Amino acid sequence: MNFQESIQTCFRKYADFTGRASRPELWWFWLFLLVGGLVAAMISTTLYYLFWLGTLLPAIAVTTRRLHDTKRSGWWQLISLVPLVGTIVLIVFLAQPGVAGASDVEAPAT
């Protein structure tokens, strides 16, 4: 998957929290978010916040799908709320190769 395909896929599935996302899909999209955010911030603070707001849901969705590919729940994103260590752990999870045959992780039955 190349840069353009990744961006298109992430915006097409902007609210799809099921399924799987490959490593290139996630990392190309995060590169787009980084570059787009920097460009928007150089132009205007308001534009930066609008860019951030418009890409928040697709970023959460693609990260959830990537975690599903590693056989983890999307709720693992919340670990990034732990300063520094949480973000490092999340990056390690996202960088791991996908598990063959992994299906969507579902919440445990109560």
Is residue 42, in this structure, part of any structural domain at all? yes
Is residue 78, in this structure, part of any structural domain at all? yes
For the chain, the average pLDDT equals 89
Is residue 104, in this structure, part of any structural domain at all? no
pLDDT tens digit string along 53-95? 999 999 999 999 999 999 999 999 999 999 999 999 999 999 9
Is residue 52, in this structure, part of any structural domain at all? yes
Is residue 18, in this structure, part of any structural domain at all? yes
pTM: 0.84
Is residue 100, in this structure, part of any structural domain at all? no
- CB 47 within 8 Å of CB 40: yes
Can you give the residue range of the structural domain that contains 52? 3-95
Q: Total structural domains in the chain?
A: 1
pLDDT band per the 50, 70, 90 thresholds, residue 1: confident
Burial class from Cβ neighbours inside 10 Å (0-12, 13-18, 19+) for residue 62 reads buried
Is residue 107, in this structure, part of any structural domain at all? no
Is residue 108, in this structure, part of any structural domain at all? no
